[in-house]
Chains A and B, each alone.
Chain A
Amino acid sequence: MDRGDVLSALVWLLIGAGVARAGLDLGLGVLRDPGPGFMLFWVGLVIVALAVAVGGRGLRAGAPPGTRWAGVRWTKLAGVTAALAAYGWLLPRLGFLLSTALLLIYLFKAIEPQRWSVAVAGAVASALLAYLVFKVWLGAQLPAGALGIG
Chain B
Amino acid sequence: MELLQQLGTGFAVALQPGNLLYCFLGVFVGTLVGVLPGIGPVGAMSLLFPVTFKATPEAAIIMLAGIYYGAMYGGSTTSILVNIPGEAASVVTCLDGYQMARQGRAGPALGMAALGSFVGGTAAIAGLMLLAPPLSRFALRFGPPEYFSLMVLGLTILIYLAHGSMAKALLTAALGLVLGLVGLDSITAQPRLTFDRLELVDGIGLVPVVMGLFGVAEVLLNVERTLRREVFRTSIRGLLPTARDWVESRWAIVRGSLVGFFLGILPGGGAVIASFLSYALEKRLSRHPERFGRGAIEGVAAPESANNAATGGAFIPLMTLGVPPNVIMALLLGAFMVHGVQPGPLLMKQNPGLFWGVIASMYIGNLMLLVLNLPLIGIWVQVLRVPYRILFPLILLFCLIGVYSVANTVFDVYVMIVFGVVGWLMKKLEYEPAPLVLAFVLGPLLENNLRKSLILSQGQFAIFVTRPISAVCLLLAGLLLVSPLLPALGRRRQALAVEEAS
Task: Give residues 467-486 of B contacting A (CB, 8 Å).
Answer: none
Task: Please state if A100 and B224 are interface contacts (CB–CB under 8 Å).
Answer: no
B397 touches A103 (CB 8 A): yes
Most interface-central of B216, B226, B400 (chain A CB within 10 A): B400
A34 and B451 within 8 A (CB): yes
CA distance A107 to B174 in the complex (A): 35
Question: Looking at chain B, what size class is its interface with the partner chain?
Answer: 35 or more
**A122 adjacent to chain B (CB < 8 Å):** yes
Structural contact, B414 and A43, CB atoms closer than 8 A: no
Question: What total count of A-B pairs have CB within 8 Å?
Answer: 160
In contact, B51 and A39 (Cβ under 8 angstroms) = no
Q: A142 touching B396 by the CB < 8 A rule?
A: no
Q: Which residues of B contact A4 (CB under 8 A)?
A: 428-429
Question: Is A84 a contact of B400 with CB atoms below 8 Å?
Answer: yes
Q: Which residue of chain B has its CB nearest to the CB of A11? A: B425
Q: Does A148 contact B (CB under 8 A)?
A: no
Segment at the A interface, from B119-127, B138-146, B186-194, B267-275 = B186-194
Interface of B is mostly: helix
Q: Are A40 and B389 in contact (CB under 8 A)?
A: no
Q: Which of B167, B401, B428, B455 contacts A134 (CB 8 A)?
A: B401
Closest chain-B Cβ to A104's Cβ sits at a distance in Å of 5
Asked if B382 is at the interface of the complex by the 8 Å CB criterion, the answer is: no
Q: Evaluate whether A80 and B219 lie within 8 angstroms (CB atoms) in the complex, with A114-B389, A126-B397 already known.
A: yes
Q: Is A71 an interface residue (CB 8 A)?
A: yes
B424-441 vs A, CB cutoff 8 Å, 1 = contact: the mask equals: 110011010000000000
- In the complex, B393 has a CB within 8 A of chain A: yes
Indicate the member of A38, A81, A126 with the most B CB atoms within 10 Å.
Answer: A81
Q: Does A46 contact B (CB under 8 A)?
A: yes
Which of B50, B174, B398, B413 is within 8 Å of A50, CB to CB?
Answer: B174
| B171 adjacent to chain A (CB < 8 Å) | yes
Docked-complex contact B223 and A73, CB < 8 angstroms: yes
Q: Would A81 and B190 be within 8 Å (CB), given that A88-B410, A108-B393 are in contact?
A: no
Does B185 make an interface contact (CB < 8 A)?
yes
Contacts of A53 in B (CB 8 A): 167
A91: B residues at CB distance < 8 A: 404, 410, 413
Query: Do the beta carbons of B177 and A43 come within 8 Å of each other?
Result: yes
Q: Count residues on chain A whose CB falls below 8 Å from chain B CBs.
A: 65
A31–B459 Cα distance when bound, in Å, is 4
A142 touches B405 (CB 8 A): yes
Whether A19 sits at the interface, judged by CB under 8 Å, is yes
With contacts A47-B175, A68-B428, A108-B389 taken as known, whether A84 is within 8 angstroms of B192 at the C-beta atoms is no
CB distance from A23 to the nearest CB of B (A): 9
Which residues on the B side are within 8 Å of A92 (C-beta)? 410
A112-B428 in contact (CB<8A): no
Q: Does B392 contact A (CB under 8 A)?
A: yes
Report if B497 contacts A (CB, 8 A).
no
Q: Which residue of B lies closest to A105 (CB)?
A: B393
Q: Does A138 contact B (CB under 8 A)?
A: yes
Knowing A81-B420, A91-B413, A141-B408 are in contact, say whether A31-B397 is a contact too (CB < 8 A): no
Question: A147 interface residue, CB < 8 Å from B?
Answer: no
Contact partner, A40, options B165, B181, B451, Cβ 8 Å? B181
Distance of A55 Cα from B26 Cα, bound (Å): 44
Contact A85 B223 (CB under 8 A): no
Min CB gap A42→B, angstroms:
10
**B413 to A87, Cβ gap below 8 A?**
yes
State whether A84 and B420 are in contact (beta carbons under 8 Å apart), knowing that A40-B178, A47-B171 are contacts in the complex.
Answer: yes
Enumerate chain A residues within 8 angstroms of B388, measured Cβ to Cβ. Answer: 112
Q: Which of B392, B404, B424 contacts A111 (CB 8 A)?
A: B392
A32 x B420 contact (CB < 8 A): no
Interchain CB contact under 8 A, A36 and B219: no
Residue of B nearest to A35 (CB): B188
Expressed in whole angstroms, the minimum distance between the Cβ of B202 and any Cβ of chain A is: 16
Chain B residues with CB under 8 A of A32: 454-455, 458-459
B394, CB-defined interface residue at 8 Å: yes
> Which chain A positions have C-beta within 8 A of B167?
50, 53-54, 57
Q: Is the CB of A22 within 8 A of B224?
A: no
Q: List 11 A-B contacts (CB under 8 A).
A: A33-B459, A36-B185, A51-B171, A73-B223, A77-B223, A80-B396, A87-B413, A88-B410, A111-B393, A142-B401, A142-B405
A interface residues with partner B (beta carbon < 8 Å) = 4-5, 8, 12, 15-16, 19, 22, 26, 30-40, 43-44, 46-47, 50-51, 53-54, 57, 68-69, 71-74, 76-77, 80-81, 84-85, 87-89, 91-92, 100, 103-104, 107-108, 111-112, 114, 122-123, 126, 130, 134, 138-143
Known: A4-B429, A84-B400, A130-B397. 19 other contacts (CB 8 A): A30-B459, A33-B459, A34-B455, A35-B188, A36-B192, A51-B171, A54-B171, A68-B428, A73-B226, A81-B417, A85-B414, A85-B417, A91-B404, A107-B392, A108-B393, A111-B223, A126-B397, A139-B54, A141-B408
> Residues of B at under 8 Å CB distance from A?
50-51, 54, 165, 167-168, 170-171, 174-175, 177-178, 181, 185, 187-188, 190, 192-193, 216, 219-220, 223-226, 388-390, 392-394, 396-398, 400-401, 404-405, 408, 410, 413-414, 417, 420-421, 424-425, 428-429, 431, 446-447, 450-451, 454-455, 458-461
Closest 4 CB pairs between A and B? A31-B459, A112-B389, A107-B393, A36-B185
